Structure 1
Amino acid sequence: MPGTRAARRTREEVDATLQVAKLDAAELLPTAHCLAFGLGAHGGAGDVCLLELEPALCQQLEAGRSLVIRGDKEEQAVLCSKDKTYDLKVADTSNMLLFIPGCKTPDQLKMEESPCNIVHTEIFGFSNNYWELRRCRPRLKKLKKLLMGNTYEGPDSPKEKDSKCSKYTTEDLLDQIQASEEEIMTQLEVLKACVIGGYWRILEFDYEMKLLNHITQLVDSESWSFSKVPLNICLQELGPLEPEEMIEHCLKCYGKKYVDEGEVYFELSADKICRATAQLLLQNAVKFNLAEFQEVWQQSVPEGMTTSLEQLKGLALVDRNSRPEIIFLLKVEDLPEGNQERFNSLFSLREKWTEEDIAPYIQDLCGEKQTIGSLLTKYARSSMQNGIKVYNSRRPIS
């Protein structure tokens, strides 16, 4: 029952208002709230924003954690917790929402020892909309773009003496990337980034392969097992050639660290080394005869490792319809982030895809409750071709 600050209604006036409205007081809760805009009331539409939070986010705020809104002027704002990212959108409501400090719910009023049957309440402000959150994928493509602008080529590279080259601290990335801190740190690990002089850097691929080659040659010359490469000896032998922190970083990128009898060892991954070697071979060729590539690839990896096309998912694509069959570089991280844009890009590259071929290029688009099958159902149509199910675009691709 809105009113003015000066008007403090009596119970008789409230009952008279109910009678005019043809409402039976017996059918209502006993306590009536008389609402009034106070003389000092502020917080009108646009001055205050309401945010609808799921219980888990409310608990984080109550525990003293922060939620951060991220985005440049040209970007759609997102809200980030410590480990999740949410789209932040304005939702209009047909009912005016009133801000009432200290307002008590019916359940709270019932708990009072001497409940009042009339409460005079001052309105602080109002709004006709609120912000709603929807869980979304972190927008991480910009992260690689920033770091690739100044890759690390070694301590003696001329770039390291150029003060104009852009460098980014953790705080810089948290300020510019639309993702939670945990999602950003996970992606930095995926990108094989490391901190050099306080700044996050991605190693130039050729320099990364140079480090890896030093390590694999040392493993071969010492007749070590790839499952037990000692850190200390690697640093002693290779330290004069490259910075020790770079040798250790390369071991971390291509292996798993463990301790045995007080000594630190790395178990190197054959799949990761074979994949990197394939990228090195493919990056300078537009297309590569598949049979020839497989032969050269196997000859290029360290002795004892076996190459397999399974190692190249999301990195390279095989065209089995061409004669002879060919393979070419196609990295999933180079494709658009948006769902429709991703499918448009893939279908412009190839009209029809098998699920096996397209899966590595859309796996990262799956949300918490999405599957590759549900994505294909939404963005593609299926048909049979020579007894094999294939997928093509639902819309014309120019």
Structure 2
Amino acid sequence: MSRTCEEVEATLQIAKLNLEDLRSTVQCLAFSSTFTNVEYCLMELDDTLCKEIEAGGSLVIRGDKSDHAVLCSQDKTYDLKIADTSNLLLLMPDCKTPDQLPCDQQSFSVSYCEIAGFANHYWELRRCRPKLKKLKKLLLENAYEGPESVQGDGQDTQLYTTEDLLSQIQASHAELMEHLKVLHACQIDGFWRMLDFDYEMKLLNHVSQLMDSESWSFSRVSGKVCLQELGPLEPEQMIQHCLECFGKQFVEEGEVYYALDEDKICRVTAQMLLQNAVKFNLSEFQEVWQQSVPEGMTTRLDQLKGLALVDRSSRPETIFLLKTEDLPEDTQERFNTLFGLREKWAEADIAPYIQDLCGEKQTIGALLTKYARSSVVNGVKLFNSRRPLS
């Protein structure tokens, strides 16, 4: 039913509102003949996401049937949560906001808007960590062990393109690509492959031996000579990939060189030594470790944060492999696992294993306050579980 101007004025009088105090355009609402409450979902976006959509970008909802859905922009991941509201939200495609109405109109007018639907809840977005643990598992299904493994071993072999991974991993494109770098994955014939650890160490050993024979400093390794000398042994793409994973490229007099990263090489060498041992005598390990790295490099225990854990309470002191990437992604499960391994932790020991759990503005201290209890033993602050462990 359409209202006339006279009916609108009469309604304003009953409401004791003066026409002079209002805008000259009145919008009358009516339910559409195709009114529905199931075809529309509302989502609350922050300014950054709004601008991304307005600039032609897109938002993608990712997750398998068993996953809690997340929404991804080009570089961020958000949890999707339903937020209820006590106010009924009306969906009106043709409704105008005050700033869209004429403000200098002299005559009083009435316009009509149809209500297409309503909602009593909306999707609320909360920034969250990308869920990347599954990525390594997928890539290890067919780890690259050399040229003979390019095509896989049979019909059941699964290889993944970027699009394949985006369809299965709950992460934005930028976060996925960054983690592929962390895993030292590379693209071979359009498919992402993660190098078998032994094969990766074989490549690094080739480079180390060449450095030794040429008497090179690890801070100035010739990319050209590496490809010339090692190309007959391994694919040039793999030699270059190894140099890029463990070094930083620079150009000098028109030639490409690599400055190898001391910490990365010491770290991966330690992983090689520890991966087949349950526990290693600490002093013996440090001696063997130093002898195993290229000449000129110095090993330090702080290079092993998030990779190995030192047990100072045992006699003799020991060290064993404990990788952050092998721990649960869920925060509570991560703490349960850590406190299951060791009842009490010093902050310096536990920090590397929970650093990745911190939100954008969250500190390690805040995380420990929420999930652990603190006590002081012999002047040292230690943390233990807030809840009993089964």
TM over 0.5: yes
Q: Any unmatched runs of 5+ in structure 2?
A: none
Q: Which residue of 1 aligns with 2:288?
A: 296
Answering whether residue 232 of structure 2 is matched by residue 240 of structure 1, we say: yes
Could you report, residue by residue, the CA deviation over 1:111-159 in whole angstroms, capped at 9, with x for unpaired residues? 3545644332211222222111111111111111111111111112497
Kindly provide the amino acid, as one letter, of the partner of residue 104 in structure 1: K
Kindly provide the amino acid, as one letter, of the partner of residue 386 in structure 2: R
SS at match of 2:93: coil
| 1:213-232 equivalent positions in 2, closer than 5 A | 213-232=205-224
Per the TM alignment, residue 16 of structure 1 is displaced from its structure 2 partner at its CA by 4.1
Q: 1:306 aligns with which of 295, 298, 302?
A: 298
Take 1:345 and 1:45, find their aligned partners in 2: how far apart are those partners? 45
Provide closer, same or farther for how the CA distance between residues 71 and 158 of structure 1 changes in structure 2, counting only shifts above 3 A.
closer
CA contact (8 A) 2:150 2:188 kept: no
| 1:212-291 equivalent positions in 2, closer than 5 A | 212-291=204-283
Take 2:150 and 2:280, find their aligned partners in 1: how far apart are those partners? 33
Answering whether residue 108 of structure 2 is matched by residue 121 of structure 1, we say: no
Kindly provide the amino acid, as one letter, of the partner of residue 327 in structure 2: L
Q: Which residue of 2 aligns with 1:8?
A: 2
Q: Which residue of 1 aligns with 2:22?
A: 29
Take 2:142 and 2:217, find their aligned partners in 1: how far apart are those partners? 35
Take 1:156 and 1:281, find their aligned partners in 2: how far apart are those partners? 26
CA contact (8 A) 2:218 2:296 kept: no
Kindly provide the amino acid, as one letter, of the partner of residue 79 in structure 1: L
CA contact (8 A) 1:69 1:78 kept: yes
What is the Cα-based RMSD across aligned positions, in Å?
Answer: 1.7
Take 1:159 and 1:24, find their aligned partners in 2: how far apart are those partners? 80
Take 1:338 and 1:98, find their aligned partners in 2: how far apart are those partners? 37
Q: Any unmatched runs of 5+ in structure 1?
A: 1-6
Per the TM alignment, residue 181 of structure 1 is displaced from its structure 2 partner at its CA by 0.3
Identical aligned residues as a percent: 68
Provide closer, same or farther for how the CA distance between residues 292 and 249 of structure 1 changes in structure 2, counting only shifts above 3 A.
same
Q: 1:83 aligns with which of 58, 75, 92?
A: 75
Per the TM alignment, residue 188 of structure 1 is displaced from its structure 2 partner at its CA by 0.3
Per the TM alignment, residue 110 of structure 1 is displaced from its structure 2 partner at its CA by 4.3
Q: Which residue of 2 aligns with 1:97?
A: 89
Provide closer, same or farther for how the CA distance between residues 115 and 153 of structure 1 changes in structure 2, counting only shifts above 3 A.
farther
| 1:123-138 equivalent positions in 2, closer than 5 A | 123-138=115-130
Take 2:300 and 2:333, find their aligned partners in 1: how far apart are those partners? 30
Provide closer, same or farther for how the CA distance between residues 55 and 311 of structure 1 changes in structure 2, counting only shifts above 3 A.
same
Per the TM alignment, residue 285 of structure 1 is displaced from its structure 2 partner at its CA by 0.4
Q: Which residue of 2 aligns with 1:320?
A: 312
Per the TM alignment, residue 38 of structure 1 is displaced from its structure 2 partner at its CA by 2.7
Q: Which residue of 2 aligns with 1:376?
A: 368
Per the TM alignment, residue 347 of structure 1 is displaced from its structure 2 partner at its CA by 0.7
Q: 1:166 aligns with which of 150, 158, 162?
A: 158
Q: Which residue of 2 aligns with 1:390?
A: 382
SS at match of 2:204: helix
Per the TM alignment, residue 75 of structure 1 is displaced from its structure 2 partner at its CA by 0.7
CA contact (8 A) 2:139 2:192 kept: yes
Take 2:150 and 2:190, find their aligned partners in 1: how far apart are those partners? 19
Could you report, residue by residue, the CA deviation over 1:274-333 in whole angstroms, capped at 9, with x for unpaired residues? 111110110000111111111111111122211110110000000101111110000000
Provide closer, same or farther for how the CA distance between residues 206 and 116 of structure 1 changes in structure 2, counting only shifts above 3 A.
farther
SS at match of 1:87: strand
Take 1:267 and 1:162, find their aligned partners in 2: how far apart are those partners? 39
SS at match of 2:147: coil
Per the TM alignment, residue 94 of structure 1 is displaced from its structure 2 partner at its CA by 1.9
CA contact (8 A) 1:45 1:128 kept: no
Kindly provide the amino acid, as one letter, of the partner of residue 101 in structure 1: P
Provide closer, same or farther for how the CA distance between residues 152 and 116 of structure 1 changes in structure 2, counting only shifts above 3 A.
farther
CA contact (8 A) 1:109 1:115 kept: no
CA contact (8 A) 1:66 1:81 kept: yes
Runs of 4+ in 1 over 6 A off after TM superposition: none
Alignment TM-score, normalising by the size of structure 1: 0.94
SS at match of 1:296: helix
Per the TM alignment, residue 29 of structure 1 is displaced from its structure 2 partner at its CA by 3.1
CA contact (8 A) 1:141 1:333 kept: yes
Could you report, residue by residue, the CA deviation over 1:1-37 in whole angstroms, capped at 9, with x for unpaired residues? xxxxxx11123333444566xx211297344432111
CA contact (8 A) 2:31 2:115 kept: yes
Provide closer, same or farther for how the CA distance between residues 246 and 347 of structure 1 changes in structure 2, counting only shifts above 3 A.
same
Alignment TM-score, normalising by the size of structure 2: 0.95
CA contact (8 A) 1:15 1:25 kept: no
